[in-house]
Amino acid sequence: MTWAVWAPLLAPLLAVPSARRLADLLPPRAAALLLAATATLLAVLSAGALAMLTTAGLLRLPLIAGLARMSATDMRRSTPVILPIGALAALTLGVAAVALLRTAQRHRVDLLRAADTAERHGGAGDLTVLPDPGADAYALPGLPGRPGRVVVTAGMLRGLNAREREVLLAHERAHLKCRHHILIILTDLASCLDPALRGLRKPLAFHLERWADESAAQTVGDRRLTAQAIGRAALAASAAPALPRPAMALAASTGPVPRRVAALLAAEQPRTQRSSRLRTTRPAAAVAALLTGCVLSSGVCALDAATDLHATIEAAQGALPTREGHGHAHHPVPHGMYPPPQRGAT
């Protein structure tokens, strides 16, 4: 197996900062989709690389090679992956799998607990009001047989006026409609497979909030009111914290609120907007090319390594029967098995 197998494990070191930089230059929706897709793809490639290293290392053992009906000697000769590297890759892959299962289970338990709490308090339509003096509001994803809900505490409702509550509900409904929790869960699971991808989780949450901010502003038709409601909700949540919410539940009062408010209040003139576009087009193109190169090279290297490993395994499987005297190899006839020919026989 070639050394190309290491590329998917090293690619996130360059791809993560590139993706974060490119996301800052894109609209919120495109930025969020880019970050989630990058995390998911790189995680799959990293897991595949670890699996190939594990396979190549363990097949050097005569016992494992024998079970696979191949020559351990040929595997040791054909691949540069030594047994300690294979064992370390197997351990890393096992730890990552356990972390992935635990994270998925934690999300499931949190969601079930929050859904049970929302059902106990009922509500009108898709809205549930919790009798919590703390201020909080979040989008609770749906479960089979349980639709998604907007959960708001009594403390949050008291801190906002009627128009600001409308903005808050529009924000949380945007999270539910666009299924933002799926992107958060995918990135969390990807981070379990490759810890280097954890750097994408925080910017993803920010761009998802910006996505919902823009949707709320479009729904109510007032960007200034939207910015005011987001700021008031964040101040209320910081003054009176509520009970913890599920990890995948997105809330309007979280994240770098000043940046979100500034983005909502940005009202550029057409000329300034055009010049701003020109200033960001070239950097965005350069960063996009760098990120695309990282992901594509990682995928190509993973494919090359998988092809090479497959060819090595096939060669080792084809070499074993010949050395052991099976298959199509020549079988010498034991002495005395057949009687000698008679004199004069034709």
Tens digits of per-residue pLDDT, 217-239? 999 999 999 999 999 999 988 88
CA 177 from chain centre, in angstroms, equals: 21
Per-residue pLDDT, 4: 83
Mean pLDDT of the 85-92 span:
87
When pLDDT is cut at 50, 70 and 90, the band that residue 171 belongs to is: very high
Least trusted range by pLDDT, from 207-216, 224-233, 283-292: 283-292
Tens digits of per-residue pLDDT, 313-327? 777 666 555 444 444
pLDDT at 311 over 70: yes
Tens digits of per-residue pLDDT, 237-264? 888 887 787 877 877 777 789 999 999 9
Closest to 226 in 3D by CA, of 210, 207, 208, 245: 210
**How many percent of the chain have pLDDT more than 90?**
46
pLDDT at 39 over 80: yes
Least trusted range by pLDDT, from 122-136, 238-252, 273-287, 330-344: 330-344
- CA atoms of 238 and 196, how far apart (whole Å): 30
Per-residue pLDDT, 21: 93
Per-residue pLDDT, 270: 45
pLDDT at 85 over 90: no
As a whole number, the mean pLDDT across the chain is: 82
3-class SS string, the chain: CCHHHHHHHHHHHHHHHHHHHHHHCCCHHHHHHHHHHHHHHHHHHHHHHHHHHHHHHHCCCHHHHHHCCCCHHHHHHHCCCCHHHHHHHHHHHHHHHHHHHHHHHHHHHHHHHHHHHHHHHCCECCEEEECCCCCCEEEECCECCECCEEEEEHHHHHCCCHHHHHHHHHHHHHHHHCCHHHHHHHHHHHHHHCHHHHHHHHHHHHHHHHHHHHHHHHHHCCHHHHHHHHHHHHHHHHHCCCCCCCCCCCECCCCCHHHHHHHHHCCCCHHHHHHHHHHHHHHHHHHHHHHHHHHHHHHHHHHHHHHHHHHHHHHHHHHHHHHHCCCCCCCCCCCCCCCCCCCCCC
Tallying the residues shown for the chain, one arrives at 346
- CA atoms of 251 and 249, how far apart (whole Å): 7
Tens digits of per-residue pLDDT, 271-280? 444 444 545 6
Closest to 126 in 3D by CA, of 109, 111, 138: 138
Strand partners, 152: 129, 137
When pLDDT is cut at 50, 70 and 90, the band that residue 296 belongs to is: very high
Mean pLDDT of the 85-91 span:
87
CB-CB contact of 314 with 68 (8 Å): no
